[in-house]
Structures are given as C-alpha cells and as structure tokens.
Amino acid sequence: MPDQSLPEARTPAAPAAPATPDTVGDQGRGVSRRALLGTAGATGLVLGAAGGALGYTAAPAQATPLTSVGSARAMFHGKHQPGITEGLQARGHLVAFDLTPGAGRKEAAALLRRWSATAERLMAGEPAGHDDTGVARDAGPSSLTVTFGFGHSFFGRTGLEKQRPGALDPLPDFSSDRLDRRRSDGDLWVQIGADDALVAFHALRAIQKAAGSAARVRWQMNGFNRAPGATAHPMTARNLMGQVDGTRNPKPSDTDFDRRIFVPASGEPAWMANGSYAVVRRIRMLLDDWEKLSQTAQEAVIGRRKADGAPLSGGGETTPMDLEKTDAKGEYVVPANAHARITRPDRNGGAAMLRRPFSYHDGIDADGAPDAGLLFVCWQADPLRGFVPVQRKLDRGDALSTYIRHEASGLFAVPGGAADGEYVGQRLLEG
C-alpha cells in the first residue's frame, strides 16, 4: 500500500440551497423527479394529559431540497472516464465480468453500448431504464461514477489480439501474493462509486442486469470510505489500520500529473488515448497482529505519526520527510524499512500512481479474525513504470508486509472518456 496514496478527502458537505436543473436531473428540462424529497408521513410525538398516555399527530408533508451530498453530480462524457480524478466516495463496488461462451466482438460492442447508456442515465440521477428497480428513487446522483475497463483475456475473446496494449501484459509474481484466481482478472471490469449506499447498489444491480446474456459476473467486491461531512474539516482519509493514508498522492494540479496518470492523446494504441491503466488488488490487513503493536511500533512501520500523518522526522502532514535525520544513537528517525520511506517516488525512479481505493470488511472468520483491509485501486499511464517498480521495492523489505496479504489481483485497460454520442470502448470495438 504505497504511501503516495489516497486523493485528498472532499470538503465536508454542508446543507445546500435548493437544487437547480444544472445540478439535479437532465439540464434544461427543470428539476427531475429526484430533485425533491418528500417528508410525507413525518409525525410529532405528543404526551396525553391523562396518565401520560401516548398519542400521535401527523405533521404536514413538506418538500425538502436535496442536500449537497445527494445533488453532487459527476459527468459521464468527457476527456477521461469518471471515477479516476474525483474525490473518494463513501461506497464502492468493484465487479469483473467474463463474456459468455459464443459472445464475441459484436456482443461486446452491444454490451458496452448498453452499459454506457445506463451509466449516463444513472450518473444524471435518472432511472436506469424501463425496468428500473426504484431502489434509488428518492436520491439524487450522490456523486455516482461508473468506470469501465478491459482485461487481458478480453482481446482474445473478441478477436482483437492485435489491439491489446503491451502495458496490459500480466503483472509479475510478488512474494506477498496469496492470490485467489477465482477473484482475480476478468474480461471486463466495472468500478462503481457513490456517496450513498443505495445509489451505489442501484447502479451495481442495473449494470448486472444490463449485461444480459452477453456476460456473467466473475467476482464482485464491496468497499467504503468515510462519508462526506463526517469530519469537522477536510482531511486526508484513514485506512482500517487507523493511519492517515494518502498524503503523497499525486494531484491533478501537479504539472506532470497527466503524463504520469493518463495515456497521451498521441499514445499507442490509439484507442487508449486519454485512458489509464487500473491495478486492482484485494489487500487483507492482519488487524489482530497489527493491533498488538504499540502506537510507537506502528508509527515505525509506517514512518509517520498516527495522530496527524506527519513524518517521524518532524513537522506537519505535508512536511517533506527528512530521510537522513538520525536520533541520539545515530539511527534513522524514519526507519530504513518504513513503508513511507520505501514508497517515495524519488526512491523508485520517479514511479508514481494515483491511488483511489476503498476499505472493505467481509465478516469475521471462524477464529475471530476480521476479513478486512483495502480494495486497492491505482491508476497510471503505464503499470510497468507505476505500480510494478514500487511493489518490487516493497517486496524486498517493507516493514508493513508482515501485516498485510495480497489475496486477489487484476489489471485493466481503461480507455478514455466517451464523447457525446459515443459509448466507452467504441474506438476499439468499431475501429
């Protein structure tokens, strides 16, 4: 889990003014059916005078505007696909599909056309289609994003081997891997994120239904992050180990951000222009072992203070880490095997990735240990220059590796955003 990680948390949501057509529903058509929440059925509790008997009186129904959390909307069409540079969302679903036997390029194109149309409607806060389940009927878009990618096997299934990018070659084996192949890879990958759990589930269900007979779910994972507004001020997220996680994540304002994260418009293959590559890893945290460590020992493993994320060499969270600083015994203040030291880009040939993960908790094992950790998702223009060199370095002596286990893995080519009138992947499937 490289230290250069999570995007900074969004500003906590505050109550917003009534939603407008520009923020909720289709633009230019007025407020959508989701723009207003009814409070019909609200009641006031009244104590009866005789013997304290309870009675109820109904309050008049009132129309209440969507809050800023519900009305926040990401756009489906654009230079890049949604779900890459947006801030962390409170709920996420990762799901991989395999094309069914007999489904090829034609069926895949029809599938991506359906999926793109469904995602565009849902991200606008509209129903999925004629068979919408109504699960998210009362909510706005809630920052919903839906992102689509292609796995290595997709190109063989569709007869497009010559269009498979070299950057999609399988990842090397790492010593910390304990991979379940049934929960790894896949022909197609979908990332769903939203700030409302029902909105996210609704999107997951709609995408699954829209797959029809063309594709079947290979694996699916659920994740979460802190909800917007849960902290008194904007701050970097924490992971399930309690550590501030994401201080050194690349920012879109960085001058070299696009070069590191996105395939250039002139890149190869041409259909990947303005796209990116997503590495997906299910990383289990061995929390019972981790929580036995003292806070001082935990901080030495990471190289940062637990309270505020500041480097052990001093200062605040964003203070540059002094790797040469020593204590009275002449030992490094930031240990040589500290996670934050090993993952620094300047220690890995400038390798950088944009991490945008979700935490997960999948229950309690028979021995009482929590099955919990990180659904690691990182983005880069080339995984061989982003994820791979950093993970190889971690493999050689990261103090954190004792407390984590990589249990599933996938690598997906995520094409650039669809222009108006296009579907995602159209330049590949119809080129």
Catalytic machinery residues: 245
Backbone φ, ψ for residue 168 (5° rounding): -95, 10
How distant, in Å, are the alpha carbons of 28, 343, 373 from that of 222?
A: 35, 27, 11
How many Cβ atoms from other residues are within 10 Å of residue 118's Cβ? 20
Q: Is the separation of the CB atoms in 72 and 209 below 8 Å?
A: no
Q: Is the separation of the CB atoms in 385 and 256 below 8 Å?
A: no
Q: How far apart are CA 119 and CA 104, in angstroms?
A: 22
DSSP label at residue 69: H
Q: How far apart are CA 80 and CA 417, in angstroms?
A: 4
Q: How far apart are CA 228 and CA 407, in angstroms?
A: 29
How distant, in Å, are the alpha carbons of 44, 46, 50, 305 from that of 53?
A: 14, 9, 6, 55
Q: How far apart are CA 247 and CA 309, in angstroms?
A: 8
Q: How far apart are CA 174 and CA 396, in angstroms?
A: 10
Q: Is the separation of the CB atoms in 423 and 324 below 8 Å?
A: no
Token pair 């723009």: residue: 35
Token pair 């209440």: residue: 64
Q: Which structure tokens are listed for 119?
A: 């995602």
Phi-psi region of 378 (alpha: psi -120 to 50; beta: other; left: phi over 0): beta
Nearest to 390 by CA among 426, 358, 347: 347
Q: Is the separation of the CB atoms in 24 and 32 below 8 Å?
A: yes
Nearest to 399 by CA among 246, 243, 247: 243
